[in-house]
Amino acid sequence: MRINIVSIFPDFFDGPLRLSIPGRAREVGLVQYRLADLRSYTHDKHRTVDDRPYGGGAGMVMKPEPFFEAIDDLEPEGPIVLLSARGHLFRHADAVRYSVEPELTLLCGHYKDVDQRVADHLATEEVSIGDYVLSGGEIAALVVTDAVVRLLPGAIGDHDAAATDSFYDDGLISAPSYTRPANYRGHSVPEILRSGAHEEIAAWKEEQEDNLTRERERGSGG
Ligand code: ADE
């Protein structure tokens, strides 16, 4: 899979995409990252990517041309996602949908807003990672990238680890996990998990998943 990220801060991604699962996935050839510097698609001496809003108001708006020219250059296949607080909420089902594409392109806005023509005529969808406003789309693009890459077959060594993740497959929040020591500062691991009774353990986990999912009023996962 190829993931394109268009941003005025391509360096922002250097560290995170080298580490952990996103880094390993690149090393073993499961994913290729193409970082496009939005400023390289400007044509003035100051490499201007923003301008004042039509109609007035505070803050600067990112110009449409650099985004359109970046896409002309990258010629991506598959979804072109604009990260924005205005978008639909990014969910596990979206990560699954993107993970089966050959290519995913993430457009990061910055400053107050992005010219609406990018959302309307360039992006195929607009995605938010939560109901809060970030300084830019870069952190959101990393969130989406991580959630997608870990779903690529072979990205996670132990398939069971991914198969029992929260939200995986059945849309439930996963049961809590414990490891040794069995008792730590007076807090002990639930007896059932140490019983060796596999059926009872499976039933306990299911019950935990149902309860947690109901408590948090999330259940669809998509
Ligand atoms: N850009 C600014 N806020 C954002 C959010 N909540 N999600 C995605 N991109 C954003």
Task: Please write the tens of the pLDDT for every residue from 59-78.
Answer: 999 999 999 999 999 999 99
Q: Return phi, psi of residue 105, to 5°.
A: -120, 130
- What pLDDT was estimated at residue 219? 47
What is 2-149's CATH superfamily? SPOUT methyltransferase, trefoil knot domain (3.40.1280.10)
- What pLDDT was estimated at residue 222? 44
- Protein residue whose Cα sits closest to atom 5 of ligand 1: 85
CA atoms within 13 A on the CB side of 125: 12
Locate the domains of the chain by residue range: 2-149, 172-219
For residue 164, is it left (φ>0), alpha (ψ between -120 and 50) or beta? alpha
- Give me ligand 1 centre to Cα 14, in Å: 20
The topology (CATH level 3) of 172-219 is: Trp Operon Repressor; Chain A (1.10.1270)
134, 125, 148: which is closest to 21 by C-alpha?
Answer: 148
- What pLDDT was estimated at residue 158? 66
- What pLDDT was estimated at residue 151? 96
- Give me ligand 1 centre to Cα 62, in Å: 15
- What pLDDT was estimated at residue 111? 82
Side by side, which strands form the sheet with 50-51?
50-51, 61-62, 113-114
- Give me ligand 1 centre to Cα 81, in Å: 12
Spell out, as residue ranges, where the chain has pLDDT lower than 70. Answer: 158-160, 162-163, 168-169, 217-222
Q: Return phi, psi of residue 64, to 5°.
A: -75, -35
Is the CB of 175 inside a 6 Å radius of any atom of ligand 1? no
Is the CB of 106 inside a 6 Å radius of any atom of ligand 1? no
- What pLDDT was estimated at residue 171? 77
Could you identify the atom of ligand 1 that is nearest to the CA of residue 131?
A: 6
Q: Per the structure block, which two tokens stand in for 146? A: 């991580």
Per the CB < 8 A criterion, the answer to whether 133 and 87 are in contact is no
CA 130 to chain centre: 11
- Protein residue whose Cα sits closest to atom 7 of ligand 1: 128
